[in-house]
Chain A
Amino acid sequence: GENVEQHPSTLSVQEGDSAVIKCTYSDSASNYFPWYKQELGKRPQLIIDIRSNVGEKKDQRIAVTLNKTAKHFSLHITETQPEDSAVYFCAASKGSSNTGKLIFGQGTTLQVKP
């Protein structure tokens, strides 16, 4: 079945530095790739997503890149701030026109040191 691998499992950066989290997926039919942020004790919340018809998407300090050939996508956070500290999950899906099921990566705990 579909599998999503996420690296690293933990990431510590200094405030102001950039952070990059990488995911690979196994099912070439996947066409929707969201990223969720989960703060301690809270629910996962969507921060950015990308569809297979684009290679990059940006939203202020957050960007996601997608390489469909390599079946690889990444989350980039620039100018990190302490409030960026959280667990980040990537996911892959064949889209709502299919089952819409999300297959999640294992998560990355990001710590931003002031």
Chain B
Amino acid sequence: DADVTQTPRNRITKTGKRIMLECSQTKGHDRMYWYRQDPGLGLQLIYYSFDVKDINKGEISDGYSVSRQAQAKFSLSLESAIPNQTALYFCATSASGKSTDTQYFGPGTRLTVL
């Protein structure tokens, strides 16, 4: 879905470095999510945000932080990257409301920590 974009698409970094992954959306959705995907483990929720002032931890938030700079932008940071954070990271968006549960995913960022 071209309405949800992520940068960078690929990143190789070293242990201990600070990394920021960015997500932008033009869907006008108020809710945004960050997931991590590892082989055989599905998608695990890292953080989610219902609006600019509402940030919530997901299942695996340790070692990560987020910033919701605007309704359309949600960034994920690794303050000090470690090798087991090597994974595929997806941003997703959804709209609040009873009949609008669908989440739309960005193209993903493949992160390798050496």
Which A positions have Cβ atoms within 8 angstroms of B? 1, 6, 9, 32, 34, 42-46, 49, 89, 93, 95-97, 99-107
Contacts and interface: CB of A to CB of B under 8 A. Distances in A.
Given A1-B59, A99-B56, A44 B101 contact: no
Interface of B: 1, 31, 33, 40-45, 48, 56, 58-59, 90, 94-98, 100-108
Contacts of A9: 40
Contacts of B42: 6, 89, 104-107
Contact of A44 (B56, B58, B90, B94): B90
Given A96-B31, A104-B42, A104-B44, A43 B98 contact: no
User: A9, A32, A42, A102: which has the most chain B beta carbons within 10 Å?
Assistant: A102
Contact of B41 (A32, A46, A106): A106
Contacts of A96: 31, 94-98, 100-101
